[in-house]
Amino acid sequence: MAIDESKAFVPLNIAVLTVSDTRSLEDDASGKVLAERVTAAGHHLAARDIVTDDVDAIRAKVKAWIADPGIDAIITTGGTGFTGRDVTPDAIEPLFEKRMDGFSIVFHLLSHAKIGTSTIQSRATAGTAGATYIFCLPGSPGACRDGWDGILAAQLDYRTRPCNFVEIMPRLDEHLKRGKAKG
């Protein structure tokens, strides 16, 4: 993987959603990690919010952002475990038009190198819906750093070679015939 410096950086509009019953924007360390990395990379933080660990609340917020033509990607943090309140994948995966199985695999490989077999306690997932990329990360700041630094920073950079998510954005909604993605 390499950066093609002859190509211009293309900033995306990225929304960050924290799923938590206990956090507020003021003490949301994981959402802060993602928001800081999004902007430091040169992207626009299109929105940032917190919702409770509730399928309907999560799904409503994500559906609204999918429908927003000003949002290219959504990154969620929290709710990917196995406890009764961990419902983020249950809320979001039914919205996927296409699953991104490789995201979970690569996330777990990166995570395993740092926390060993404890990585199996995460149901990190990703996919596309309505020409919007959606990535669901665990709720720890470390997992958010790993997901951004190890996967998303490169794949959301148009200059990354041999390929990246940005270059295929114009074709994500071919089947929708609505033209959300431009380029």
Query: What are the extents of the domains in the chain?
Result: 11-168
Residue 182 has pLDDT above 50, yes or no: no
Residue 26 has pLDDT above 60, yes or no: yes
Spatial distance between the Cα atoms of 9 and 44, rounded to a whole number of angstroms: 12
Compute the mean pLDDT over every residue in the chain, rounded to the nearest whole number. 94
% of the chain beyond a pLDDT of 90: 91
pLDDT band at 177 (very low <50, low <70, confident <90, very high): low
109 C-beta neighbours (distance < 10 Å), count: 12
Q: Where is 13: in which H helix or E strand? A: strand 13-19
The predicted model gives 18-45 an average pLDDT of 96
The predicted model gives 126-140 an average pLDDT of 97
Spatial distance between the Cα atoms of 161 and 7, rounded to a whole number of angstroms: 11
Place of tokens 């709710």: 79
Class of domain 11-168: alpha beta
The pLDDT tens digits for 48-85 are: 999 999 999 999 999 999 999 999 999 999 999 999 99
**Residue-level pLDDT at 174:** 77
pLDDT band at 1 (very low <50, low <70, confident <90, very high): confident
**Residue-level pLDDT at 176:** 62
**Residue-level pLDDT at 164:** 96
Spatial distance between the Cα atoms of 20 and 51, rounded to a whole number of angstroms: 6
Establish whether the linkage from the previous residue to 170 is cis, with ω within 30° of 0: no
The pLDDT tens digits for 146-170 are: 999 999 999 999 999 999 999 999 8
